Amino acid sequence: MKSLQSRVVTRKHSPLHQKWCGGECFFIYQSLKLNSLITLTIKGDFYYGKVESFTLDHTKVKAPYVRLITEEHGEQGDVISNYDLRLVQPNENAIPTAGLHTIEHLLAGLLRDRMTGVIDCSPFGCRTGFHLITWGEHSTTEVAKALKSSLEEIANVTKWEDVPGTDITSCGNYRDHSLFSAKEWSKKILNEGISDEPFERNEI
């Protein structure tokens, strides 16, 4: 078992070449920002980039909440923001896949109706919430209000025919949907209140 090491790299180190006794591995790294630094951890034959979400103490947060994870600034001045839309308390609950899947499909349109610059809204593998990626900068209050309004529509207005991507041609797992589950979880989240702060309750 190879020992863990850390290495800081910049674009001038791309491509990276790392030889092990058991073979040769090639890695290409390109920074989003000129001369920006990232930390890569070597574990066995693999490089792992440092991910902010894995440094978050999940025992300290108080869901439901919206949290700004990071803002990336491009060379031309563009900004991409990444938000943590945490719907249920980590390690205490998880939304079943069918309900989460339907919420995902609905949020794809509902958030775009309520915010500018939405790029993507994708569920966490742990099934406790979503990543929201946007162009530009938005306050967590703005995002929380858009999320709350979207969940209110799911809970109180949405009908099955309103759910996009529910057939074999438009979804990769079209059988795994439940509007009933999506509505019940949306009601539960709304009843608990959505905070624009992750570590203290500041419901919007």
DSSP secondary structure, 26-73, as one string: EE----SSTT--EEEEEETTEEEE--GGGGS-TTT--SSEEEEEEEEE
Summarize the confidence of residues 10-25 as an average pLDDT: 39
Instruction: Measure the CA–CA gap between 125 and 55, rounded to whole angstroms.
Output: 16
Dump pLDDT digits (tens) for 93-134: 999 999 999 999 999 999 999 999 999 999 999 999 999 999
What does the DSSP 8-state code read for residue 91?
A: T
Binding site residue list for Fe cation: 101, 105, 171
Residue 203, token pair as written in the block: 């419901």
Report how far residue 201's alpha carbon sits from residue 204's, in angstroms, rounded to the nearest whole number: 9
State the CATH architecture for 58-192.
2-Layer Sandwich (3.30)
pLDDT, tens only, 23-65: 333 343 444 444 444 444 444 444 456 788 888 999 999 999 9
Give the model's pLDDT for residue 51: 80
Please check whether residue 20 is in contact with residue 42, taking contact to mean a CB–CB distance below 8 angstroms: no
Binding residues, as ranges, are 101, 105, 171
pLDDT of residue 49: 63
Q: Where in the chain is the domain with CATH 3.30.1360.80?
A: 58-192
With 0.85 as the threshold, say if the pTM is over it.
no
